Amino acid sequence: MAAIWRPSLPQYAARPGYKVAIGDTRLVGSTESGGDNSRRRSTRRVDVHTFQMFFDDHQREEFLRFWEYDVGGGNLDFWFPAQPHERYWADPTDGKALTDETGLGIAFREWWLVQFVKRQAPPSFDLRGLDWVASIAIGRIA
């Protein structure tokens, strides 16, 4: 069973610098004559999301425990909150957001099955003022 990103950790990535690279499922080979040929290497595409998150001292320690124990040193899959924001339920007839009795939109949280990217360095932390800024790369599986 996959681990779940702990609720005590930051839930959203910083929007500036957020990058998404579409996973490449092509296997390209050359031929003796003519152009290159290609075929599908895999049907499982892993999109790489690279971003920064802000941690306080306690959250940084919590993340280190999550890294070591929950995801086995960054080797196991885990559930991560969808980025960059929550989604809102919409009325299928007119497409407007559904609201509760106070008029607030009814939000739901979407989760992604991810893994830390294997061929990149583990997350790194830089101290900026009182916060730690972590550079993280995850691969979205589902």
Over residues 14-52, the pLDDT tens digits come to: 888 888 888 776 677 777 777 777 766 666 778 899 999
Q: Give the global pTM.
A: 0.75
Look up tokens 């809102």; give the residue: 88
Spatial CA neighbour of 42 closest among 59, 62, 23, 58: 23
Local confidence band at 94 (pLDDT 50, 70, 90 cut-offs): low
Q: Is the pLDDT of residue 86 over 60?
A: no
Look up tokens 């009814």; give the residue: 106
In total, the chain counts a number of residues equal to 142
Q: How many CA atoms lie within 13 A of 1 on its CB side?
A: 2
88 compared with 100, residue with greater pLDDT: 100
